[in-house]
Structure 1
Amino acid sequence: MDTYSDGLLIGALVILILVSAFFSSSETGMVAINRYRLRHLARQGQKAAKRVETLLKRTDRLLSVILIGNNFVNNFAATVAAILAIRWLGDSGAAVAPVVITIIMLVFAEITPKTYAAMRPERVAFPASLILKPLQVVLAPLVWMVNGVSSMLLRLGGIRPNEHDDDHLSPEELRTVVNEAGGLIPENHQKMLLNILDLETVTVEDIMVPRNEMVGIDLDDDMHDILTTLRSSQHTRLPVFNGDPNNMIGLLHLRKLSRLLLKEEINKAELMQYTVEPYFVPEATSLHQQLINFQNAKRRIGIVVDEYGDVHGLVTLEDILEEIVGEFTTDLAATSQDIHPQEDGSYVIDGSSTLRDINRALQWELPTDGPKTLNGLILEYLQDIPDANISVRIDRYLIEILQVKDNMVKAVRARRAEVN
């Protein structure tokens, strides 16, 4: 046996295995790299990121270059291994060589480099792009020919190679990304991002102040009562109507009335001079759209109406912002006027409280896909107007009805049922 020539063949085989490992790791690294992080790094001006991003714009060409190089190297390595085996073992080496070279290639040229590349895609893809980019130019004619044949075969199968899904995230996929961000995003910021995504699914009806809780000015009232309402109001804008909220006249900005309220006598005509036209909002409008509508209309408060034009309540810009940043308080259950914690761990809750507010305050999961208030949920569940001292179980929550008045559940005692 020629020791020198054997040494050359062994050296060539080692180099071929290393080159094969390069192509294998490059393929995995390029595919596994985070496209959004890559785009971010490219926009920051990182040259390696720009090279990789350019290569990935035509994934078919990139994979063709890698696979052509990998297959060429692997076949050459198998040939060299066969020659060495025949030299060392004679004719029986031809049977042994495929088994040995397969194991070697799997361990050193496939599994190990691909595993490392999957774990550290940037460390592999960025330096590999220095070789793959010029190699793409050198092998361009062969790549063009191979891709042409491949595209023809795909078209025969009814697949158009140039058609591919856009690299965009759906809202639900984006929600998963935010949830999986972990410590990369502060918890408060994470909640706000998720709340912003919820704006598309939540409607104005879900967060509006119900009609029966609206504070407004009824022009049919005595002027003394109107002034008392104006001077004691905690709101800066009040709806103005005649007798019934359905006869809405406009909205009154109390800051503009500050000087007028100092006068001893004010008449309704003077009051009307500071009233602007009402801004009506359909109850099914999503919060995302309504936020844009408020911005375009330069308004901060809207009167919510149903499909028949009847007034159902009002919604403010602040209500929508609170859906994003949360209530401006630290303990909703302790500060809410509608939720009163009890010593036994239950809560006395006003029946007009919205289910969203209750869920947010107590971290509960009362169903919100139907009625919007606790009263509505109980009435829908019972299909009747109940008497007091009746208890019901809705999902995992025990609810005792404490007071019923004017055909409405006014107060309940509720607790989460213990799970056995």
Structure 2
Amino acid sequence: MLNGKKILLGVTGGIAAFKAASLCSKLVQQGAEVRVIMTESATKFITELTLQSLSKNPVYTDTFDEKNPAAIAHINLADWADLVLIAPATANIIGKMAAGIADDMLSTTLLATQAPIMLAPAMNVHMYVHPAVSRNLAELAARGVMLVEPGEGLLACGYTGKGRMEEPESIVAVVNSFFKRLYERSQLPLSGKKVVVTAGGTVERIDPVRYISNDSSGKMGFALAKAAHELGADVTLLAANTHLPLPAGIRVVHLESAQEMYDAVLAEWSVTDILVKAAAVADYRAKEVSDRKIKKSGETLTLELVKNIDILESLGKQKTKQLLIGFAAETNDLEKYAMDKLQRKNCDLLIANDVTREGAGFGTDTNLVNIYDTTGLIESLPLLSKEELGMRIMELAAARLPGAQE
């Protein structure tokens, strides 16, 4: 799996830096092209010449030592890499990454790259479990940085415990597995496609402590986003008022109002292949929003509402190549209202459910839907978990994209 892969190896200043030589050698032996960035501290443990000889490429240590005047080295390396592997990764570089500090060649390149990043930490056992290091690793994991867990054993400092950099053979195996997953993912039906899913109920403020919203939990939208990700898509989840755990591997944008959701959708629209509008967007908002808490006064309170932008209808008018999927939650005349909404809003698919039926509607873990296109009802599904339903909808959407296999 490593043949022809471009791996940028970052080596930082710990005693485990000596293992970087073996790691570099094994990556090259398996067909990878390796380029190395060393921190100044790393050069105290292992020489640049060693890694240059093993990688057959120049080694970079200084941000300002531009070896090629036609290219800015840290940007060029950041763009070049298929994977950035930091081994060993000290507490220092982990902290810099979490904080966004760029004060040397390696940390600057890490900020500039959009390639996947993998860390193989190495440090004293007490450092590894320190709250600051744990927090930093959790922050990086939330951003999608991968971790090769350190091993346990006798450390250079004399302690015994967790903190030993994993052996080069094991790290190479993890790198191989990563590229294997990428290859398998590239064969999935939504590989290379951009999917945007909206989820949850929007919030329309009345004053700083009150708002108009609805009962949407966001469960259906989250299930659709997970399904699209499992089918290989690059997924952006636009999440309104929801308290669900964030799905791994999916970019989540938090927002509040209908206008914020519309703006967020428009920001993604030109590069979107499939948009699934599963959010329950408020139809109206307060005409005037008080900047202070409205005090109780009198027996009644009159609140004037004005209509929000209809996001689905607006996008239906604007769409070119995008596949647009809408939802309709109804209490009666399901097919009549579903087909009317599909046609008025120029949807490709409309997922309709009768929220009065048991097991369907807001807050449940299941749903019971009919799926319509411009020809009418195409599928009436039994009661399914929202996870199962999300996968069925996304499989149906994938089959309708241009170039999809019959």
TM over 0.5: no
Q: Taking structure 2 as the reference length, what is the TM-score of the superposition?
A: 0.23
Higher helix proportion: 1
Question: Of the two, which has the highest radius of gyration?
Answer: 1
